[in-house]
Amino acid sequence: SIPAGVTTESCGANTVITGVPSSVQNPFTSKLISLYFPQNITPSDVAAAGGTNSHGLLSSYSNSYPGTDKQHMGDLRIDHDFNEANRVYGVYHGSAEDNATSFVSFPYTGLGLNQTFRKNGVLSLSYTHVFTPHLVNEARGGYNIQNEYKHDNTTVTQFLSSIGLSPAEVAEYDTTIGTGAAMYGNPNVAFTSTKIATFGDDSRNSDRNLNQHLATFGDTVSWQKGRHSLKIGADFVRNEAQDGFGSTRNVPQSSMSYSGGNNLVGFTNFLLGNAPHSYQYVELPRPATDVSNWETAYYAQDDFRMNSRLTVNMGFRYDRYSPYVDKNDIMANFDPNYRNATTGQLGRYVIPSTKTLKYMQYTESDN
């Protein structure tokens, strides 16, 4: 039913809500709209966009917003011979980017642009030692690091404070949704109407770390012995990666939905401060994916000069890549070919340990 205190208009067989007087609007939702909804849209703007003045609806909307994309880069190189037997070489490249070019939740321009901060560092070092003219050792190492953080402009707690909730009310809300309150982003509001866009955040990128770290070390011995040119060595690589993609799964910042269809009853209930018909939060958000593995390689090569016109190259290499291991045991796989012998149900999840169970989402059904 249409809430009391609003104005309506007959539109054929339907009754359409045309206004919610400010005197009956909830102060929190009114503040939210004044801060985060598009502002200064006149009736002529609505008409020009194909809407109607009486209903105040836009069929399309576009807006320009100043963004930023700043990058800083630098390089450093060192080449030094201590003496004829010892030489070092090193090069470092660093870069950083501060980017804000996409809306957090269009068309709610008041939420601003999503922020992306990225830092990269690449270091390569080598040390060459000449034991004799026929025996040389080269040790090399380095790292490649990228740290990236994407986030919205306010945390849930800051957002709630901005629309007028008292510290005590914010604390109560924070207690209800737990960890999600400290995350960047905001509560999502869906109006179950094609006429009103969902008030969202930047979804998986609302609060997301995306880091990759690689460290490497290797050593090669070159030995010239008679007609043999031997090379023997090994390489070791440590990979680490963190990704917060799963941490924002199912909107831990909380979400709510107002039913009512396209006659704007849901949006009207929102304006009046009435309770949504459904509310959701994530009791235990998943931690970020935090994986690591090792890559190792061992090799030997012999270039054997049989005579002045023929050289035989012989060698072998052994590579080993260990599987990625997640620090929090949240990596899981789905086995679609498994059939439960008792129920006949197809499929099962394969998980690393019982630590994973508390982060799994599943649905029980009587069907």
Tell me the per-residue pLDDT of 62-109, one tens digit each, with 9 for 90 and over: 777 889 999 999 999 999 999 999 999 999 999 999 999 999 998 899
pLDDT of residue 24: 79
Average pLDDT over every residue of 226-239: 96
Which pair of structure tokens corresponds to residue 223? 């030995």
Tell me the per-residue pLDDT of 210-219, one tens digit each, with 9 for 90 and over: 999 999 999 9
Query: pLDDT band for position 363 (50/70/90)?
Result: very low
The yes-or-no verdict on residue 364 having pLDDT over 50 is no
Distance of alpha carbon 337 from alpha carbon 343, whole angstroms = 14
Query: pLDDT band for position 54 (50/70/90)?
Result: very low
Q: pTM value?
A: 0.81
- Identify the three-state secondary structure at position 141: strand
**Whose CA is closest to 148, among 176, 181, 105, 117?**
117
Phi, psi (5° rounding) for residue 158? -65, -40
User: What average pLDDT does the chain have?
Assistant: 87
Which pair of structure tokens corresponds to residue 258? 């107002």
Distance of alpha carbon 36 from alpha carbon 132, whole angstroms = 73
Phi, psi (5° rounding) for residue 247? -70, -25
E strand segments, the chain: 7-11, 14-19, 68-83, 86-100, 115-132, 135-151, 188-190, 207-225, 228-243, 255-257, 278-280, 289-307, 310-321, 325-326, 333-339, 346-350
Average pLDDT over every residue of 348-365: 74
pLDDT of residue 13: 63
Distance of alpha carbon 2 from alpha carbon 263, whole angstroms = 9
Tokens 């209800």 found at: 176
pLDDT of residue 183: 93
Distance of alpha carbon 14 from alpha carbon 310, whole angstroms = 93
Q: Which amino acid is at 104?
A: V
